[in-house]
Amino acid sequence: MSSVTFKSITKRFGSNEVLHDVGLQIADKEFLVLVGPSGCGKSTLLRMLAGLEETSEGEIHIGEKLVNHLPPRDREIAMVFQDYALYPHMTVAENMSFGLRLKGIAPDEVDRRVLKAANILQIEPLLKRTPRQLSGGQRQRVAIGRAIVREPKVFPFDEPLSNLDAKLREEMRIEIAKLHQKLATTIIYVTHDQVEAMTLATRIAVVNAGRIQQVGTPTDVFGRPENMFVAGFIGSPTMNFIEGVLLRENGVLRFKTEGVDVPVLGGTGAEPLGPATFGVRPEAISIERGGAGGDGVVAAEVEVVELLGYRKNVHLKVAGAKVLASVSAAFGGEPGEKVGLRFDPAGVHLFEKGTGRRIR
C-alpha cells in the first residue's frame, strides 16, 4: 500500500486550463474523497493519477515513485470506472483475472485471488456469467472485484455508484466502507454526491473550477467550511445564505439586514466589519410559532412545508430572503403562518462579501 502526492498539478486541454496548481497529499491507507460539481476537474485529476490523461505541469508520486512518465500498467493501481467498463466478451471470472493473466501470474494463484475477491464481494455464483447477465449492482461488484484481485497500491474509484439507483447506492456505499476496513488500502474516490463523501471519507477534498477549496475531515468540512462554496456544497439540505452587514453594537457583534438583526455569538473580536454573508444550516434553525419575540429572533412567514417522514423541510420568507429550515416532523405550522426563527450559534457561519472567505 502507498501514499499519493500531487505536486502543483496543472492540466490543460488545448488552451483551456481545467486544473490550476493543485497540491494534495494522501496518506497510506487513507480514504480520500474528491468531491465537487460536474466539470470541476476531479475526475481529470483521478485519470491523471491512473495515467489515462497526461499531466501538463506538476508531479504525481505514488509512494516515493514519480509516475508522470509511466504508462497505466506500471503504476500499480487498479481503477474502478463509473460505467463499470467490464469486458462484455469475457465471463466474470475472466474479467477479474484479466490483469493477473496479463502479468503472467500462475493459474493456481489467479484462481485463488479471484475466489478470494469473489468471496469478499459475494459474487461467487456469478463467476461464469457474462456482464450482460448481471444487474447494475452485480456489475459494480465485479468491477470492484477486478480491482481487488490485482492487490494494487492505490484504488482510484471514479464515481462508482452514480449509475445505481438510490437503494443500491446506499447498499454499495456500506460495502465499499467495509471493503476499506477489510483491505486497509489507499482509496481515492471521486464523487459529486456529498452524502457519499461525508459517509465514506477519512478526509474530503472539495474541488471547484479546477481548484481545491478545502481539505479536511468530514466534520471539519461540514462544521468549519473555509468558503461559501464549501459551505453551500457540503450538507443536505444546503446552507442558507443571507446578504447583510456585520457591525458591532455595544461591544456585541451583530449581523443586520432588512428584517434580520441577530447577535453573532462566539466571535474572536477580530472579525472585519462591513458587508458580509450570513450562513446558517437548515438544521440549526428552530421555529417558534406565534411570531417573533426577543433578541435574535427573526420574523418569518411559512411558504411551503414538505414532509420527509421523520423531518419536515419548511420554506420560509424572511423580508426579502428565502430560508429553508429542517425541523422535526411534529412541527404543525401551515403556509401563511407568521413565525419566529432562532439560530443555533453552532450552525451559524459568516463569510466575506465578494471573496466568500470564512470570517467566523
Partner 1 sequence: MTERGARTAGLLTSQAILKAHHRREALKTALVHGALILACAVCVYPLLRILAVSLRPGDRIISTDLSIIPQGATMVSYARVFAETHFLFWLWNSLVITVATSLVGVALASTAAYAFSRFKFPGQRLGLSLLLGTQMLPAGMLILPLFLMIMRLKLMNTYLGMVIAYSVSSLPFSIWILKGYFDTIPRSLEEAALVDGTSVFGAFYRIVLPLSTPALAIAFLFNFTQAWNEYLVARVILTDSYKYTWTLGLFDLQGQYLTQWGMFAAASLLVTIPVMAVFLYSSKWLLTGMTLGGVKG
Q: Which stretch binds partner 1 (CB under 8 A): 69-77, 198-206, 303-311, 312-320?
A: 69-77
**Is residue 59 near partner 1 by the rule CB under 8 A?**
no
H/E stretch holding 15 reads: none
Do residues 351 and 231 make contact, with C-beta atoms less than 8 angstroms apart? yes
Q: Which is nearer to partner 1, 150 or 349 (CB)?
A: 150
The answer to whether 166 contacts partner 1 (rule: CB under 8 A) is: no
Cβ 77 to partner 1 shortest distance, Å: 7
Residue 146 near partner 1 by CB under 8 A: yes
Binding mask 7-46 for partner 1 (x = CB under 8 A): ----------------------------------------
Residue of 25, 163, 238, 286 that binds partner 1 (CB under 8 A): 163
Which of 5, 98, 120, 211 touches partner 1 (CB under 8 A)?
Answer: 98
Task: Work out whether 130 is an interface residue with partner 1 (CB under 8 A).
Answer: yes
Under rule CB under 8 A, how many of the chain's residues touch partner 1? 32
Euclidean distance between CA atoms 297 and 345, whole angstroms: 12
Q: Does 286 bind partner 1 (CB under 8 A)?
A: no
Q: Dig out the grid coordinates for 54 from the structure.
A: 497526461
**323: phi > 0 → left, psi -120 to 50 → alpha, else beta; which?**
beta
Q: In angstroms, what is the minimal distance from the CB of 163 to partner 1?
A: 4
Binder to partner 1 among 59, 87, 125, 128 (CB under 8 A)? 87
Out of 48, 123, 134, 316, the residue judged to bind partner 1 by CB under 8 A: 134
Q: Does 171 bind partner 1 (CB under 8 A)?
A: no
CB closer to partner 1, 79 vs 239 = 79
Choice between 157 and 229, CB closer to partner 1:
157
Nine cell digits for residue 199: 459517509
Among positions 85, 168, 292, 299, the unique one binding partner 1 when judged by CB under 8 A = 85
Vertex 341 angle, CA 227 and 337, to 5°: 130
Residues 6+ apart with CB under 8 A from 100: 109, 110, 113, 114, 149, 150
Q: How far apart are CA 213 and CA 145, in angstroms?
A: 33
- The answer to the question of residue 293 lying near partner 1 (CB under 8 A) is no
Task: Name the burial class of residue 259, with classes exposed (0-12), middle (13-18) and buried (19+) by CB atoms within 10 angstroms of its CB.
Answer: middle
User: Across the beta sheet with 285-289, what order do the strands follow?
Assistant: 285-289, 338-343, 298-307, 311-318, 321-328
Find the length of the chain. Answer: 360
Which of these, 162, 123, 156, 120, lies nearest to 139 by C-alpha position? 123
Q: CA-CA distance, 213 to 23, in Å (whole number)?
A: 11
Give the nearer residue to partner 1 in terms of CB position, either 56 or 130. Answer: 130
For residue 50, state whether it binds partner 1 (rule: CB under 8 A): yes
Residue 68 sits in the site that holds partner 1 (CB under 8 A): no
Residue 273's CB: how many other CB atoms inside 10 A? 12
Among 72, 223, 232, 267, the residue binding partner 1 under the rule CB under 8 A is 72
The residue ranges that bind partner 1 (CB under 8 A) are 50-52, 71-73, 77-79, 81-89, 98-99, 102-103, 130-134, 136, 139, 146, 150, 163
